[in-house]
Amino acid sequence: MNRIGVVPAVLAAAILISCGPQGSVGMDPFNLNPQMAQIQAQDSLVEPASFRRYVLPDMQPWSLEEVSTFGLAYANSNDRLVSCDDWTQISPELITGQRIITFQLGSANLGLGHLRVRRGPQMPDGWHFFQTTSQVDNAGQCYSTEQEIAVVPPGQNGRWLPLASFSLYTEADDGSVGELVVCQMKRWCCLGSSPTCNTIRPPCSLGYQTDNIDSGTRDVYPFHWQDQFVPLQNVPSGRYWFEHKINAARVLIESDYSNNSLWFKIELNREADTVRIVEYPNASVCPSGGDETH
């Protein structure tokens, strides 16, 4: 499966670009990212009579690919351990040939806003990344705002921003989630949009950037893409809770962080060299029972 690449469109930082409303507005109130509070306050000073509501992406794990492909593999030569505490820390240790759990990876944007991320040119301190988000006023007029969200250090070309973390937790005596055993951070190389929920109607359009996940679509990575795994070195047989947490580092600006995790229980048998899901997650669904396109 080929990854999708797009041509970046360069926008000046923090300018507002007018764009006509598209589709039906009908938006629910958003829980705004605290990072956006400063911009919101500035907007209210510039135009006190005009209320603008942010129209943001809402990133959620999509379980379809993950549960159907969840299995064991061997680490490749380009796989590295990436810290979940500090996603800029990449271990130089070679783990080629070590046993890992891996899977296909679906990352859905189920919000009303498109995800648009732009990578700037390399600077002495690395690559600066910017996210463009939408606003809409009471008249249905759309605007866009760009904000810097992260810096990727020099020497980490191709491992861009953190997309998700994958963790194993012990199973407590009562069957609940126990202690953290291992965690791996996945960083993306490029993002694209596969049709997923065709009833989501974004009210605003946004030009394409370096990386994009349209509203109502999902990005899909193939089985065992770079750094897309759970390391099993020194992990014994047993039952574990698996967590896939999208936007784990909270780098991306989105409307709701409370729905970013997908949980299910697995059984790992190191002697038989097997792994299986013993408690499945609820299937991912489109908002308000929207139609799904696989």
Name which of 261, 255, 287, 253 is nearest 116 in CA terms: 253
* Per-residue pLDDT at 93: 94
The predicted-structure confidence for 97-112, as pLDDT tens digits, reads as follows: 999 999 999 999 999 9
Is 5 among the domain residues? no
pLDDT at position 174, please? 97
pLDDT digit string (tens) for 34-58?
444 333 434 444 444 468 999 999 9
Does residue 242 fall inside a structural domain? yes
The answer to whether 43 touches 37, Cβ cutoff 8 Å, is no
Record the pTM.
Answer: 0.82
pLDDT reported for residue 246 = 98
Q: Residue 65: which H helix or E strand, with range?
A: helix 63-69
pLDDT of residue 287: 87
**Which stretches of the chain score pLDDT less than 50?**
1-49, 290, 293-294
pLDDT on residue 136:
95
Residue 27 falls inside a structural domain? no
Total structural domains within the chain = 1
Could you tell me if residue 3 is inside a domain? Answer: no
Which tokens is 133 given? Answer: 């988000």
Range of the domain at 153: 34-281
In a domain, 9, yes or no: no
Assess if residue 143 is contained within a domain: yes
